[in-house]
């Protein structure tokens, strides 16, 4: 079962798509956006992060407008591959989110990852390996609209392949921060 989690993003779907076009390189922006919009369902099936004992199925999740806000679905007891984001080996941003403190808490220990830690994604095309290059924590709930828009940029298409993992942080009810892990292909 997939439940919605509010991220208090006051962004519409059009704003997110416009942001993606602005952030993508001018020469390849349209191609990158077209590629991510045409991402087939089920492109990622499993994520493995040995250091923090994650071995989880991955299901596709989508954006929905609810109460005037755009929200990403968050998968229960699984990680969620954001529909429209890149695919392993596809040359753009592969975005995966998961719960930190409820419904399986798949990404409970993301804050223990450090630069160089390995992540494996499985898809219908095989395994793809990544190494963590950055871990950051940003204020989301209670942040100004401009800061929340800056935070949302981590979900935009990128000119080169990367893996972006996102979860709430810290481990508490209604955590106000987001943890973002960026990993690059090995």
| Domain ranges across the chain | 2-185
CA distance 86 to 33: 9
pLDDT per residue as tens digits for the range 11-25: 333 334 444 433 333
**What's 85's DSSP letter?**
S
Specify the CATH architecture of the domain 2-185: Beta Barrel (2.40)
This model's pTM is above 0.85: no
pLDDT per residue as tens digits for the range 30-50: 333 333 344 445 589 999 999
**What's 149's DSSP letter?**
H
Asked if 130 and 121 count as a contact pair (C-beta separation under 8 A), the reply is: yes
Sign of CA dihedral 96, 117, 158, 16: positive
Q: Are strands 177-185 and 162-169 parallel, antiparallel or unpaired?
A: antiparallel
């Amino acid at each position: 079962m997939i439940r919605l989690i509010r991220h208090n993003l006051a962004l519409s779907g059009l704003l997110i798509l416009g942001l993606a076009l602005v952030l993508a390189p001018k020469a390849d922006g349209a191609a990158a956006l077209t590629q991510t919009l045409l991402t087939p369902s089920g492109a990622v099936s499993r994520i493995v992060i040995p250091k923090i004992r994650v071995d989880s199925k991955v299901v596709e999740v989508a954006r929905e407008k609810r109460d005037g806000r755009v929200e990403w679905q968050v998968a229960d007891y699984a990680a969620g591959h954001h529909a429209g984001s890149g695919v392993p080996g596809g040359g753009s941003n592969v975005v995966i989110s998961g719960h930190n403190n409820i419904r399986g808490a798949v990404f409970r220990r993301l804050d223990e990852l450090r630069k160089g830690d390995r992540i494996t994604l499985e898809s219908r095309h095989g395994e793809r390996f990544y190494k963590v290059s950055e871990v950051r924590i940003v204020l989301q709930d209670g942040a100004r609209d401009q800061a929340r828009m800056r935070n949302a940029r981590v979900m935009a298409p990128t000119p080169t392949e990367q893996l972006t993992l996102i979860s709430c942080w810290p481990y508490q009810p209604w955590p106000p921060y987001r943890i973002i892990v960026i990993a690059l292909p090995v």
